[in-house]
Structure 1
Amino acid sequence: MSVLELEDLKVHFPIRSGVVFERTVGYVHAVDGVSLSVEAGSTYGLVGESGCGKTTLGRAVLRLVDITSGHVRFEGTDLAELSGEQMRRARSRLQMVFQDPLGSLDPRQNVESILAEGLEVHGIGRSRADRRAKIVDTLERVGLASNALSRYPHEFSGGQRQRIGIARALVLEPDVIICDEPVSALDVSVQAQVLNLLEELQSAFGLTYLVIAHDLAVVRHISDVIGVMYLGGLVEEAGADELYTEPMHPYTKALLSAVPIPDPVVEDAREQILIPGDLPSPSSPPSGCRFHTRCPWRQPERCDTERPELREVAPGHRVACHYAEEILAGELRPRSADVASDTPPRA
């Protein structure tokens, strides 16, 4: 059963000009028509390069940014239509873990104050003693001792600060947690510890995760379903194993070809797909397929003028590409200038 559903979600930021008489001269299409669903108790991984709209989508679910159009349904309730007070109450069941653990924690508050704030706002706990007992229990769940209560964020390591951020979300007993690059600011060894912690908490409390990341290895490790975003839109969605073994969208193929393989023989012999050019501006996205300006498999006319729908090409596998089946079957070949194979051995 889907606990979170996004339907044609759009978030456009106005571009304003003028000093005395300000006017809107355009829009940044940060999220432009995304539809997806997250099953209860599962982890949905959202990947893509910087600037594709991943973080904006996560913030839009919690309405930390204004939704231009579309629907965000949480257990059947459209969050986009809730009043401010109704949305405030709903946030106790929808929480977020932010990318920068230091920047997201108030440096003037100690750990107890940081975690107690949400409990007080949502009226959880009959007294300060009840709230403190809940906070201590939550800290133990994330691997921190009770002596952390009186300490401040700057006194902890990066991994410990992220555990505090996770505890702040967990203490409200949410159903869904949106994790925005939860380990990108951490050392590799600490990343594994935090990912294992998230999995343990999911198993213990039946949590549902929407994990936003750019590290494909991280997403594969933790996700049940993976969605790939490009320039504000979802271009491919499939189960984690299927997406990695048989990607069908050209952009996904290029992303996976850039992931190093820890075998020098395989790494040097495999096909590498190079994406030419720069990411187009989201204020003036290309017509037709958003990826056609950089796609090695681009076909004239249709790719340039007709935006492909995200369609199901196999059970549980959706792709936004006009020629996904032909590319998979090898009937269409990429331009040779954008493919590097048999690369020379590294020095």
Structure 2
Amino acid sequence: MTQTSAHATPHSSAATPAPQPPLIEVTDLQVHFPVRAGILFDHQVAAVRAVDGLSFSLHRGEVLGLVGESGCGKSTTGRAVARLERPTAGSIRLDGTDISRLRGTELRRVRRRVQMIFQDPFASLNPRMTIGQLVGEPLGVHRLVAKDERPVRVAELLRTVGLDPASVSRYPHEFSGGQRQRIGIARALAVEPEVIVADEPISALDVSIQAQVVNLLADLRAAYGLAFLFIAHDLAVVRHVSDRVAVMYLGKIVELADRDDLYAHALHPYTQALLSAVPVPDPVVEQHREQIILHGDVPSPMSPPSGCRFRTRCWKAQEVCAEVEPPLVELATRHWTACHFPDVT
């Protein structure tokens, strides 16, 4: 299943312009991690099905939010799109070219176009390298700037993310968490990418700093036309930054829609439960609204339930849910849901 979006634009003639092809198109993506046992005769006994057949598209300049509980496969999906994980099956097309099996020089070219911002800004920075070296390293790896010109470019990148260029000789431990994340953003920007995979980029930061980093990413999107795959578990933040939102559960997308449509009328029970847990900044409304409590734990990705994977925690589950896996289908305009009993009223 492949989704495409048709953003209408004003045109002088009556003809409607054809929709632009997606920049990234993911089809039936699977990322499985083998579980091995044995000493003398090592062999695979099972597999963790972290990502187990999902499809989505990302257009130029778009922000696609990817949300779900911890362990649902969000980060693995992002790492696969950035080709830090090799897919087990499926395809990842960048401008029509499948990048899922590329290696060597061809893969290096792709990584210049798709960069990643990591969740932990300290763990993602080499503590033995100065900030100038960290931000300047991609320029040398991809041979974008002559060595004697790199300090100028590094200073420009640091200014772009709101850091003092005079700090190039300092080390990561000398900066705060928010400043370290800005360094990671500057490093990602160094190669002039088209897509940035942001893997929970604010979850490790103080609340007072989170808004600053979110606003910085929004400014960079506007200035450079960047597309973002924005991975998060904070639905309030995702609503603020995203154009579309995909909801994941146990390795699969269960709902995908335009942001406002999804938040106003979620069709899947799991999405409804997630949204009911988001606080409302109105004490009267918050006091009287119903919160959906999910019972039980998330099943193991080594042995997911048959049929619908959410059925073990779903209050709507019936016999068919255990027998048939619901496909992800378009039930409303640009609104896809994988559920046998969606809330379409």
TM-score (ref. length: structure 2): 0.93
User: How far apart are 1:62 and its partner, in Å?
Assistant: 1.9
Q: Secondary structure at the match of 1:81?
A: coil
Match of 1:272?
291
**Which has the higher mean CA deviation after the structures are superposed, 129-138 or 310-319?**
129-138
1:176 aligned residue (189, 195, 200): 195
1:283 Cα deviation (Å)? 0.2
Say which of 278, 298, 321 aligns to 2:339. 321
Determine if the alignment matches structure 1 residue 185 to structure 2 residue 185: no
Q: 2:316 aligns with which of 286, 297, 300?
A: 297
Percent identical across equivalent pairs?
56
* Residue 39 (structure 2) aligned to one of 7, 11, 19: 19
Q: Which amino acid aligns with 2:322?
A: D
CA shift digits 1:192-242 (9 cap, x unpaired): 000000000110011000000000011111000000000000000011111
Quote the residue 2:82 is aligned against.
62
Which one of the candidate residues 217, 220, 234 is aligned to 1:201? 220
* Aligned Cα root-mean-square deviation (Å): 0.9
Secondary structure, aligned partner of 2:344: helix
Query: What do the CA deviations read for 1:233-279 (whole angstroms, capped 9, x no partner)?
Result: 00000111111111010000000001111222211211111111000
Does the 8 Å contact 1:5/1:72 carry over to 2? yes
The structure 1 residue matched to 2:278, chosen from 223, 244, 259, is 259
1:109 paired residue number: 129
Q: Structure 2 matches for 1:131-142, cutoff 5 A?
A: 131-142=150-161
* Aligned mate of 1:220, from 235, 239, 252: 239
Name the residue aligned to 2:10: none
Q: Is the contact between residue 124 and residue 131 of structure 1 (CA under 8 Å) also seen in structure 2?
A: no
Amino acid at match of 1:147: A
Q: Note the residue ranges of structure 1 that are not aligned, 5 or more in a row.
A: 330-347
| Conservation of the 8 A alpha-carbon contact between 1:45 and 1:226 | yes
Equivalent of 1:95 in 115, 121, 124: 115
Unaligned runs of 5+ in 2: 1-19
Alignment of 1:306 onto 2:309: no
Measured in 2, the distance between the counterparts of 1:117 and 1:52 equals 33
Contact 2:83 2:111 in 1 (8 A): no
What is the aligned counterpart of 1:281 among 288, 293, 300? 300
The alpha-carbon deviation at position 323 of structure 1 amounts to 1.4
- Cα distance in 2 for partners of 1:131, 1:71 equals 36
Name the counterpart of 1:41: 61
Distance 1:293 1:8 in 2: 24
Between the two proteins, the alignment pairs up a number of residues equal to: 325
Aligned equivalent of 1:119, options 139, 142, 154: 139
Deviation at 1:328, TM superposition (A): 3.3
Contact 2:86 2:101 in 1 (8 A): no
Match of 2:186 among 148, 167, 178: 167
2:64 partner letter: Y
Question: Following the alignment from structure 1 to structure 2, what is the Cα–Cα distance between the partners of residues 236 and 118?
Answer: 36
State the Cα deviation string for residues 132-177 of structure 1 (Å, max 9, x = none): 1111111101001111110100000110000000000001100000
254, 260, 272: which one pairs with 1:241?
260
1-structure distance, mates of 2:49, 2:335: 25
Matching residue's letter, 1:159: G
- Output the CA distance in 2 between the equivalents of 1:204 and 1:130: 23
Please tell me whether the aligned partners of residues 65 and 230 of structure 2 are also in contact (alpha carbons under 8 angstroms): yes
Among 155, 158, 162, the residue aligned to 2:174: 155
Q: Verify the 8 A CA contact 2:257 2:334 in the aligned structure 1.
A: yes
Structure 1 outlier segments of 4+, above 3 Å = none
Paired amino acid for 1:178: V
What amino acid sits opposite 1:328 in the alignment? V
Query: Corresponding residue for 2:14?
Result: none
Task: Give 1:252's aligned amino acid.
Answer: T
Counterpart residue type for residue 124 of structure 1 = L
Aligned residue type for 1:57 = T
Query: Does structure 1 residue 74 correspond to structure 2 residue 94?
Result: yes
> Contact 2:31/2:87 (CA < 8 Å) preserved in 1?
yes
TM-score (normalizing by structure 1): 0.92
Shift of 1:84: 2.6
Cα deviation, 1:44-71, whole Å, max 9, x if unaligned, reads 0000000000000111112211210000
